[in-house]
Amino acid sequence: MSRVKRSVHARKKRRATLDRTKGYRGQAKSSYKRAKEALLKADSYSYAHRRTRKRDFRRLWITRINAAARQEGMTYSQFMHGLGRAGVELDRKVLADMAVRDPETFRRFAELAREAAAA
């Protein structure tokens, strides 16, 4: 069996790890061992928080829709129920954006939801 000399690849791997930890605090940016540990943590947080971000944005959208709906004299649940009855298939992201950027259009959707809920 031939011998494998790791020098070049080992240095390349360590340099890549230290490049990824630029901007970290303390030894996590300069010591390979600490940098490797910091990256393990960072990658696990990154994986978990990609899922958390989706929840956080949905909560934000619902809060914005609720605030705009209350200005129109109805609750979030009444508004969404009315839209469902009216057959409007807009997602919360679009509705929240509309509530912030285009209140007049949101007002029309609120009237539509109010009429559909009453019928």
Contact 30, 13 (CB under 8 A): no
Q: What is the pTM of this model?
A: 0.79
Looking at the 3D structure of the chain, how many domains does it have? Answer: 1
For position 39, which CATH number holds?
1.10.1900.20
Burial class (CB in 10 A: 0-12, 13-18, 19+), 98: buried
Determine the pLDDT at residue 111.
97
Contact 114, 83 (CB under 8 A): no
Question: Does residue 39 fall inside a structural domain?
Answer: yes
Question: Does residue 75 fall inside a structural domain?
Answer: yes
Question: Does residue 2 fall inside a structural domain?
Answer: no
Q: Can you read off the two tokens belonging to residue 26?
A: 């303390």
Question: Does residue 1 fall inside a structural domain?
Answer: no
Segments forming the whole domain that contains residue 42: 10-118
Determine the pLDDT at residue 115.
96
**pLDDT per position as a tens digit, 52-109:** 999 999 999 999 999 999 999 999 999 999 999 999 999 999 999 999 999 999 999 9
Alpha carbons within 13 A on the beta-carbon side of 110: 21
Question: Does residue 61 fall inside a structural domain?
Answer: yes
Question: Does residue 99 fall inside a structural domain?
Answer: yes
**pLDDT per position as a tens digit, 4-29:** 999 999 999 999 999 999 999 999 99
